[in-house]
Structure 1
């Protein structure tokens, strides 16, 4: 992850940044991270291989000439990115085609930054009908700049398939490394690019445009897009409030644990940023408190500023409490303003149909605490500030002042994802954990308890419940941050910091570490810091760590959770399936060659199989459950980690079209099965795993007389050496 962030800072125009953000926030698996080398060594990458069950990692150098190894190694990575979803966005593709055809009307030099598969480059070449330029003539020339080597290799295949390889000059280098007279013969007349994320600026739009205008483009160039405008709207939403205000929700808890003690209400919080989210999915839980308002305009055709501020007076249209600011953007792709693309929610666009896509969402900015109470007609002062890569918001009424957000603060803050904040503030979840732990601690005198994961909640609650317990927290992800946090909140939770020992970077505890005492209680949520984009069963790392600790566990050790259940449900997921289906021609250009590499669904030659990907199912557009929720296999934590196999028949309870199977883990906290924590589709704070079908299948209930399939059989196997779960299915 560190290499991706570093790469993002020095190479904002690279498609790698899209992969980095996707890895952190959406589908990407943790197995691979990549970093292209610069200059002469740009034809090799470092790939970080991570074992999800141990957290161990190693760098592997992959060179361009290592064709077979390279192809195998980067396939899974590209299959978990947003490229396929983006290329399936027909509204986006049509808008760019129309704008490019309208803008490029004669031979010229076109520069495509962050070229990806080369789609925009091919559109530009076709628009001007360019042939192969000579070295002295840049008219009719397209330069495609893409620094991410796996994508460069894929682009060249796409260009060859479409007989465009001689029309487009592919440069595998960062755009800020290009030099006129060295890499390109002259400044470009036209810039085409799509280096936008849900926030707009996160892929480095501003520094990329600044360098391009300074060094690579003619004065007053033509650009596609022409302009981007960001918009906002004030909303009330209890759901959004729960995602960030742990302090007020924790105050209602009766368990005595305070993750945010009084006076330390910022020591644990979400990051001050815009958080991407499909807001259409919660439209019925949102109360609009303002009309949409314009925030910033960014012109692609001129050099942008790194820093700007905007202040507006916004009139409340209803009584309520502002919990969040929703934002989106609109692209004006042509100079005249006739071609647009918007990421606005559907209550703005008034569209009942259209492409559901996951590569761009709306964004949510959380207001601190309980939000701001407003009355209908009241004026609010809104301030926005943008940097090179981020936007920050602030809001106040005539009775309050604009708060001061320290974007870079010297004070210690433990930053957690919004979903983790909501879990820690959920009274039902806390009560379940409290009940399970209270039962576990009964009749145990001076127990030695090991918290195997990154659960600060379990660490605090054990120390709070048992004044005689000795607690060891491993904090494999939090590490020093976990130590600092405990030191600051210990007193407020009724124990001294020396009662909890944290072993940082400790791969395995020994009896020397425990003062020759065996572990009586091994617990976890399980939760591992930084692994929020992982598949649900990759938290079976807890089982692996239980196995590593086997030699220090007492004979009557109590393990919590005691086991895990792999659950599954057949579902109709038309929007998600359509966003990841096979590509054929995109605006006239054949992209069929990318399907296997990008993990598409469809009739592809064996052994291709769509990958298992993590999604928040509730955000996946139209969804419908077609079967009961079934248990495929059990993972028994009383025994060391081992291979597992399960097989189950799925009977359809609803007639419809099945697009895949949704899988998740239910954690059984106690041996009596009285406390079970589910991460299934109803629980919106966890991602589920999705296994999409190659082709949708019509299914029916047993009482139906139609010819559709009546049931399916799912088989699953778990490999403890890799943490991989293999899923196969058959319909009958």
Structure 2
């Protein structure tokens, strides 16, 4: 959180797994790190329950520092507990969702409002599925309120996520719409005509779409609604959705999935994907959301856009479907991926459209496209292996198949056929994120790891090495480099999958499986487990399976693990990485700031009451502040670095976890509008500081942490209060504007 105290910008209670205080003064940026972990709840799963007197939901909270998780209950009925829960759990969870970004999408809101006003011309029964804050429900109620008819209509809203239902209740009350919308804390397939609602609905308004279109359960939701909740031939907003695609060549996209080819030229001789085991490790075969505009200069378009599927909301969709498209290549190249997007037709006449197409697509009809958005991106489907070589004018056959929740593709030319990869290739198959695959295939990264580990091994003979994280690469590398070593891999996330993987690739990497043991007990490693031998080397990347979407410093779990293993470590144990440095940079982030900005009125409906809960920035009453959230900076639209990179503080992994303190001076080197600070971790792999791995904004395979200011501030502008390079010279008016 950020709060302004005199001339000091203070950021207490940052969710940095113990980083509890961050202060920016005119002279310095100060931080403290304590060993008390701050659990970061993650909405990985919720389980709604109900009783006669209360509504309750189980919510999974994860502590990334320890890897432990627990189910907590959010109850509706106890006022004191409700307020406490909203502050301690729900707020943190909702702030990490896309609700705020979606509500800040003016183009989306305007398109739905125009379509609802055009569609609802008489009082009727309207059903809103996945109502969120109730925005579409209020639009529908208002549209009926303008109808010249004495008969009253009704709006039924259903929302399964209890924390959002609590917000909806408040939003409806603030807007005087509490009596106009009848809402239920249920999934739509739990609603019953004659029990919850008196009759089937005449109109469906709903927005349960993800970047792929189908991932939030659009098809089964529409099927149940048409079977049980809607009249025959209902009116719907949206009216239909169409998906489109385009064949592209991109070396960057290829590196995100093809590890087998990218590691062939590595100097370490490790084969994470040995010949003949092409599917042993890879990305999940699915459409991956991505801001493709950010890599438009690295994309060679190989076809015109083509239509793939059409889904009509006004009739019951099929669970399975396929589409065969004949595509003519417009350029020579190699097809590395299919980039896809969707277009909504919101009204039946076809005059109101909304598109998630990349910026290089021009639409022949008037379409709301919005500016940069985070809640809906384009999707990328990776073509397995090296892709398909094609020539201009050559025909490519695309066979697309959809299920209830996903779309997959097969591509073929006369010479080549590429089919969907098999995602169930046995127990030894590992699926990792595209960024992790790219890291493992990056020659520079692998060379750094090789150099750092060789330096460590020079100082040890017959070492006992513990791999504290989920790094299959380091486990293989140390077994390959040191024939006399014994390796214990903790694999806290991979577990049995890691065991099966190592067995499958051991021969190809020149070691026997008895040299690498995966510790599978739930308790911590003891001297009994090591046969009384102390650990000489403790290593990690660090990388924890399943932490891909989290803040970069949440890999400080490595420091926690090092502390818990203190009793089995030798006095002269070598730790890799030996320390970490928290880095920061002031940046201009106009698109990201706009997407997270303070809400006031949305299509004339007041939403200011949700700002704190959803983690908004700008115009918040003290001491409320927006959260610190993970983003790929390179995918955040327009960006500009305004200061030198500076080190905030350092963390020494050679010692047990404990309090830390640091300060730094901020220098503004560019003129511009400062929207916040980007923070990341640089990992120092060796004691000589010769191998340092950065995860900063220029490194596209890691997410950074972003702390947005309450208000953007002009810096470095001639004649302004921020003129000059050093933050130390900034007058107090600068900080009042924060």
Contact kept, 8 Å, 2:237 with 2:346, in 1: the verdict is: yes
Superposition map of 1:312-391 within 5 A: 312-349=325-362, 354-391=370-407
Q: 1:188 to 1:31 in 2, by over 3 A?
A: closer
Query: Which residue of 95, 100, 118 corresponds with 2:111?
Result: 95
Q: Which residue number in structure 1 is paired with residue 630 of structure 2?
A: 614
Equivalent of 1:490 in 486, 490, 506: 506
1:43 matched to 2:55: yes
Once residues 601 and 564 of structure 1 are traced to their aligned partners in structure 2, the CA distance between those partners, rounded to angstroms, is 29
Structure 2 unaligned blocks of 5 or more: 1-38, 730-734
Whether contact under 8 Å (1:648, 1:713) holds in the other structure is: no
Post-superposition offset of 1:337? 0.3
Task: Return closer, same or farther for 1:58/1:145 CA change in 2, 3 Å cut-off.
Answer: same
Match of 2:178 among 119, 140, 165: 165
The one of 276, 284, 299 equivalent to 1:263 is 276
Are 2:82 and 1:70 equivalent residues in the alignment?
Answer: no
Q: Secondary structure at the match of 2:297?
A: helix
CA RMSD of aligned residues (A): 2.1
Q: Aligned residue for 1:569?
A: 585
Q: Deviations over 1:278-305 (max 9, x none)?
A: 0000000000000000000000000000
Aligned to 1:595: 611
SS of corresponding position for 1:269: strand
SS where residue 264 of structure 1 aligns? coil
Q: Secondary structure at the match of 1:346?
A: coil
Q: Superposition pairs for residues 413-562 of structure 1, below 5 Å?
A: 413-562=429-578
- SS state of the match for residue 565, structure 1? strand
C-alpha separation between the residues in 1 aligned to 2:143 and 2:203?
12
Alignment partner of 1:682 is 2:698? yes
Aligned to 1:206: 219
Superposition deviation, residue 80 in structure 1? 1.1
1:457-492 deviation line (CA, Å, top 9, x unaligned): 000000000000000000000001000000000011
Partners of 1:138 and 1:186 within 8 A in 2: no
Cα distance in 2, alignment partners of residues 507 and 569 from structure 1: 40
Shift, 1:57, TM fit? 1.8
CA distance in 2, matches of 1:95, 1:185: 30
Q: Matches of 1:463 and 1:640 in 2, distance apart?
A: 27
**2:124 equivalent to 1:108:** yes
2:164 counterpart of 1:151: yes
- Aligned with 1:312: secondary structure? strand
Task: Report the count of equivalent residues.
Answer: 686
Q: Does 1:60 align with 2:77?
A: no
Give 2:191's aligned residue.
178
Contact 1:64 1:70 in 2 (8 A): no
Which whole-Å CA distance do the structure 1 matches of 2:200 and 2:131 have between them? 18
* Aligned-pair CA distance for 1:349: 3.1
Q: Select 1:215's aligned residue among 228, 247, 264.
A: 228
Aligned-partner Cα distance in 2 for 1:233–1:206? 24
Cα distance in 2 for partners of 1:713, 1:67 equals: 44
Kept after mapping to 2: 8 A contact 1:712/1:731: no
1:306 aligns with 2:322: no
- If the length of structure 1 is used for normalisation, what is the TM-score? 0.91
> Quick one: distance in 2 between partners of 1:533 and 1:687?
7
TM-score (norm. length: structure 2): 0.90
1:256 CA displacement: 1.1
Question: How far 1:49 sits from its partner (Å)?
Answer: 2.4
In 2, the alpha carbon distance for the partners of 1:149 and 1:731 equals 36
C-alpha displacement at 1:63, in angstroms? 1.0
Deviation at 1:149, TM superposition (A): 0.6
Query: 1:645, CA displacement in angstroms?
Result: 2.5
Preserved contact between residue 109 and residue 138 of structure 1 (Cα < 8 Å)? no
Q: 8 Å contact 1:227–1:331 — kept in the other structure?
A: yes
Is the CA contact (8 Å cut-off) linking 1:49 and 1:60 kept in structure 2? yes
The residue aligned with 1:297 is: 310
> What is the deviation of 1:713?
7.4
Q: Cα–Cα, structure 1 residues 100 and 411, in superposed 2: closer, same or farther, change >3 Å?
A: same
**Aligned to 1:50, what secondary structure does the other structure show?**
strand
Distance 1:224 1:731, change over 3 A: closer
Aligned in 2, Cα 1:577/1:508: closer, same or farther, shift over 3 Å?
Answer: same
More displaced stretch, 591-600 vs 692-701 = 692-701
The structure with higher relative contact order (CA 8 Å, sep 6+) is 2
Q: Does 1:707 align with 2:718?
A: no
Rounded Cα–Cα distance in structure 1 between residues aligned with 2:459 and 2:161:
58
Aligned pair in 2 of structure 1 residues 314, 246: CA closer, same or farther (>3 Å)?
same
Contact 1:567-1:631 at 8 Å conserved across structures: yes
Distance 1:390 1:332 in 2: 21
Secondary structure of residue in 2 paired with 1:348? coil
Secondary structure at 1:650's aligned position in 2? coil
Work out whether residues 250 and 258 of structure 1, in 8 Å CA contact, stay in contact via their aligned partners in 2. yes
> For residues 626 and 662 of structure 2, what CA distance do their matches in structure 1 show?
20
Q: Give deviations 1:646-699, integer Å, cap 9, x for gaps.
A: 222211000110000000000000011000000000100000000000000110
Unpaired runs of 5+ residues, structure 1, are: 1-27, 715-728
